[in-house]
Amino acid sequence: MTFSTASPADLPALQFIESHQDYPWSETQLASCFGEGYRVRLLWQDNLTVGFSICQRVLDESTLFNICVLPACRGLGFGKLLMDDLIVEARAAGDSAIFLEVRASNSEAIGLYRRMGFEEVGRRKGYYPTVSTREDALVMRFSLDKV
């Protein structure tokens, strides 16, 4: 496994991975994450991009906006590797916390975040669209003050 920082030239790989999500981001949304303050990281295995993470740093906090792994590579620990990378980078930048929002129905992701030490700090009612209605978002926080 190797990590690299993505550039706009990597947009097709991001879009391919993202297209397998239930509610994928558009290419425009992904492209907007290459501005100042954003960090887009790729996870590679055997010359194949298997996942990515997108976060934004503001002052002394990072916010995870998106983390995505190819369907064939899920359940193999790649999501944890991407989260570990995010935590290492945030600590190195001097951040005090990492925040994220996750669909309340995404039990696999919530389980990973909890195992890694994220705690629920809020809920946004009706935040995410679904096919027929809206879904709550859990707001989670990881304190980088922890050892």
Q: pLDDT tens digits for 77-117?
A: 999 999 999 999 999 999 999 999 999 999 989 999 999 99
Distance CA 36, CA 24 (A): 23
Distance CA 59, CA 71 (A): 34
Segment 116-136 shows an average pLDDT of 93
Summarize the annotated binding site for acetyl-CoA as residue ranges. Answer: 106
Q: Is the pLDDT of residue 46 over 60?
A: yes
Q: Is the pLDDT of residue 142 over 90?
A: yes
- pLDDT tier at 146, thresholds 50, 70, 90: low
Summarize the annotated binding site as residue ranges. Answer: 106
If DSSP codes are grouped into helix, strand and coil, which group holds residue 103?
Answer: strand
pLDDT at 145: 82
**Domains of the chain, CATH where assigned:** 2-143 (3.40.630.30)
Q: What pTM was estimated for this model as a whole?
A: 0.90
Distance CA 88, CA 69 (A): 19
Average pLDDT, rounded, for the chain: 93
Catalytic residues, by residue number, are: 101, 113
If DSSP codes are grouped into helix, strand and coil, which group holds residue 91?
Answer: helix
Distance CA 24, CA 37 (A): 22
